[in-house]
């Protein structure tokens, strides 16, 4: 999918193309026969891949269904392998809150491990058999929970299996800890972290003592990326990577969008849709599906035929196509008025975010104000609103719910690494964002232009994984071309092996329009930017670092270096020390 296709949120959708090729009986020219045969081979390969994908997904579902864990109410020792990641660290912290004895390991220390250490989790940097033993090898964990990023030949996994310790992947653990809750599973290729965090924050502010697990640091959560409560509601960021969400049984499933992401797992967008359709069949009977009707990929999930023309839209209401999702209520949301819940009159506000009019079936209900910028966050907020209305409409009056939403939504400050301000010195603002897919890059650049329309926009982009860069290089180039100056670094890749015939240099060569340069090392990027900015410190400029790797270290170091250089200049000329604003 190209960047424009994935970002314009048109009301129509594209069906999946089925190739039905029959070799002609009559004699045909050899060139034509070869072309037809190649199409037939391609179709066969795609069909085999689809069958393999289905088999892998079914295997994960069966594992989640039949493996039995001891009573989690008893005091047990759980060890998490790959605990430094955003997903597993949240589960480890939640396990502490639930009364488990918890330990964990990862190849390197991460910021998520800071909170775990404060909570009393025994942490190990590096993997070793001794991490899953205590009392001189006389005691072992009751279970091992493993991140999707950890290979099966990990020494701790092999040792645990040799000792008969149950080893569970993250999806099974999620299935077990949510099975007795009214689960709200927030899924989608992009925006699920912000949507889940916003949803949990507002529900908590409305008095719901819920539990929530989000795959990012939410500054307004006391548990960083979790909330631990006693109510029946459980908000979960549901990840499609490694088919992780297929063990879940949600009461409400949210789909923010569907795009070709995780290219190391999914061969194409058709493969992604196949897994998402399987997830939607997990919704409990009597539950709800909240889906973005403006996303081409998401809306196509509702069409069980996977092909055919766009459904007709009558009287400003979206028709739901023939669907094999049965027993649940389907709710659409978006910007377009063809959705059940939608926004109108979107405009920037004084907080740097957006104001809009919330509408239901074409009728305006309330003015919503956000302090998080970008049209994508308008969509995320409508998803949260539609979900809350579906969850609580039979418990509270609609006017009461709307009043609560208008009160609490403006107070949400967003997530760490989601257009996060690092600091400011002179005319230079420095921000950081987790965007690592062309769609995300495109949307965050739009948000940056919204908040700082008059500043020169300099983007420092660190590609995340060679496979993603190889598959989406042209889309990255198109998305990044919306900046004024682009610096591309070396690829950050920790889970891929082998040689890849692609680099950050190839990406800079593909960018048409603005100035672009390839600087592999992050330290060299800092030196180059500090030198350029110091030449004209009062120039209005926005530095935006993007990526899912260690690119987030650039902003703080750059800010420190600019402060040092400015102090030296001012000291030489006996001028006041410049004001440094930290986020």
pLDDT computed for residue 413 by the predictor: 97
pLDDT computed for residue 488 by the predictor: 98
Q: How far apart are CA 400 and CA 392, in angstroms?
A: 11
Structure tokens given for 398: 């609609």
pLDDT computed for residue 557 by the predictor: 97
pLDDT computed for residue 325 by the predictor: 75
Topology annotation, domain 420-582: 3.90.190
CB 547 within 8 A of CB 444: no
Q: How far apart are CA 483 and CA 210, in angstroms?
A: 41
CB atoms within 10 A of CB 392: 17
pLDDT computed for residue 574 by the predictor: 63
Sheet holding 143-146, edge to edge: 122-125, 101-106, 77-81, 143-146, 167-169
Q: How far apart are the first and last CA of the chain?
A: 36
pLDDT computed for residue 7 by the predictor: 41
Structure tokens given for 295: 């996303």
What homologous superfamily is domain 77-172 in, according to CATH? NAD(P)-binding Rossmann-like Domain (3.40.50.720)
* Cα dihedral: 244, 245, 247, 253 (round 10): 170
pLDDT computed for residue 281 by the predictor: 94
pLDDT computed for residue 171 by the predictor: 86
Q: How far apart are CA 504 and CA 524, in angstroms?
A: 15
pLDDT computed for residue 326 by the predictor: 75
Bridge partners of 253, per DSSP, are 185, 289
Q: What is the DSSP letter of 146?
A: E
CB atoms within 10 A of CB 93: 26
Q: How far apart are CA 558 and CA 423, in angstroms?
A: 10
Domain ranges (residues) in the chain = 77-172, 179-411, 420-582
**Where does 361-470 show beta strands of DSSP type E?**
363-369, 420-425, 428-433, 456-461
- 179-411 CATH: 3.40.1190.10
Q: Which residues does 296 contact at the CB level (< 8 Å), separation at least 6?
A: 1, 5, 6, 10, 12, 13, 14
Q: Average pLDDT per run of 10 along the chain, which is 583 residues long? A: 40 34 44 57 59 56 46 75 92 92 95 92 96 90 93 95 93 91 97 98 97 94 92 96 92 97 92 95 96 96 59 43 76 97 97 97 97 97 98 91 97 97 95 98 97 97 96 98 98 82 96 97 98 92 97 97 84 62 67
Strand 182-187 relative to strand 420-425, pairing: unpaired
Helices vs. strands in the chain: H and E counts, helices first: 16, 24
pLDDT computed for residue 313 by the predictor: 33
Strand 288-292 relative to strand 317-318, pairing: unpaired
Structure tokens given for 220: 């307004």
- If you search the block for the tokens 């410049």, which residue do you land on? 578
pLDDT computed for residue 91 by the predictor: 93
């Amino acid at each position: 999918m190209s960047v424009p296709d994935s970002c314009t949120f048109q009301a129509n959708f594209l069906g999946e193309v089925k190739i039905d090729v029959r070799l002609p009986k009559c004699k045909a020219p050899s060139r034509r026969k070869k072309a037809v045969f190649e199409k037939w081979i391609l179709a066969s390969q795609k069909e085999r891949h689809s069958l393999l994908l289905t088999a892998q997904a079914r295997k994960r579902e069966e594992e989640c269904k039949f493996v039995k864990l001891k009573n989690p109410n008893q005091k047990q020792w759980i060890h998490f392998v790959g605990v430094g990641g955003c997903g597993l660290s949240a589960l480890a912290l939640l396990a502490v809150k639930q009364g488990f004895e918890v330990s964990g390991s990862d190849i390197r220390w991460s910021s998520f491990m800071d909170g775990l250490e404060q909570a009393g989790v025994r942490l190990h940097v590096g993997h070793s058999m001794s991490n899953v033993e205590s009392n001189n090898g006389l005691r072992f964990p009751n279970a091992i929970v493993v991140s999707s990023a950890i290979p099966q030949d990990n020494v701790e996994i092999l040792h645990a299996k040799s000792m008969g310790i149950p080893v569970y992947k993250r999806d099974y653990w999620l299935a077990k800890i949510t099975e007795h809750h009214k689960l709200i599973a927030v899924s989608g290729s992009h925006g699920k972290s912000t949507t889940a965090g916003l949803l949990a924050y507002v529900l908590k502010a409305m008095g719901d003592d819920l539990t929530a697990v989000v795959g990012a640091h939410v500054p307004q959560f006391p548990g960083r990326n979790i909330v631990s409560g006693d109510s029946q509601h459980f908000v979960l960021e549901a990840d499609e990577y490694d088919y992780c969400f297929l063990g879940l049984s949600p009461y409400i499933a949210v789909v923010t969008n569907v795009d070709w992401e995780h290219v190391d797992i999914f061969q194409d967008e058709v493969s992604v849709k196949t897994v998402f359709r399987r997830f939607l069949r997990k919704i409990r009977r009597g539950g709800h599906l909240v889906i973005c009707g403006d996303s081409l990929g998401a809306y196509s999930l509702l069409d069980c035929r996977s092909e055919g023309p766009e459904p007709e839209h009558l009287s400003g209401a979206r028709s739901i196509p023939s669907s094999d999702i049965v027993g649940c209520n389907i709710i659409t949301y978006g910007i377009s008025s063809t959705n059940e819940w939608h926004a109108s009159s979107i405009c920037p506000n004084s907080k740097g975010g957006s104001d809009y009019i919330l509408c239901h079936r074409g009728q305006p209900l309330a003015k919503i104000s956000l302090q998080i910028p970008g049209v994508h966050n308008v969509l995320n907020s409508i998803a949260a609103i539609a979900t809350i209305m579906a969850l609580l409409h039979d418990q509270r009056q609609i006017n009461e719910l709307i009043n609560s939403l208008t009160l609490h939504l403006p107070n949400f400050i967003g997530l760490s690494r989601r257009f996060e301000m690092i600091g400011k010195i002179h005319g230079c603002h420095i921000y950081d964002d987790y965007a690592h897919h062309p769609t995300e890059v495109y949307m965050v650049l739009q948000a940056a232009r919204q908040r700082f329309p008059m500043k020169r926009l300099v983007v420092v982009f660190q590609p995340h994984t060679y496979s993603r860069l190889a598959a989406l290089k042209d889309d990255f180039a198109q998305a990044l071309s919306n900046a004024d100056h682009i610096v591309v670094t070396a690829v950050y890749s920790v889970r891929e092996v082998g040689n890849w015939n692609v680099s950050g240099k190839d990406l800079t060569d593909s960018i048409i329009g603005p100035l672009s340069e390839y600087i592999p090392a992050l330290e060299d990027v800092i030196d180059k930017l500090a030198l350029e900015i110091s030449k004209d410190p009062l120039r209005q400029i926005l530095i935006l670092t993007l990526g899912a790797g260690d690119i987030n270290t650039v902003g703080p170091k750059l800010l420190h270096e600019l402060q040092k250089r400015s102090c030296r200049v001012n000291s030489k000329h006996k001028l006041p020390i410049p004001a440094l604003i930290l986020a």
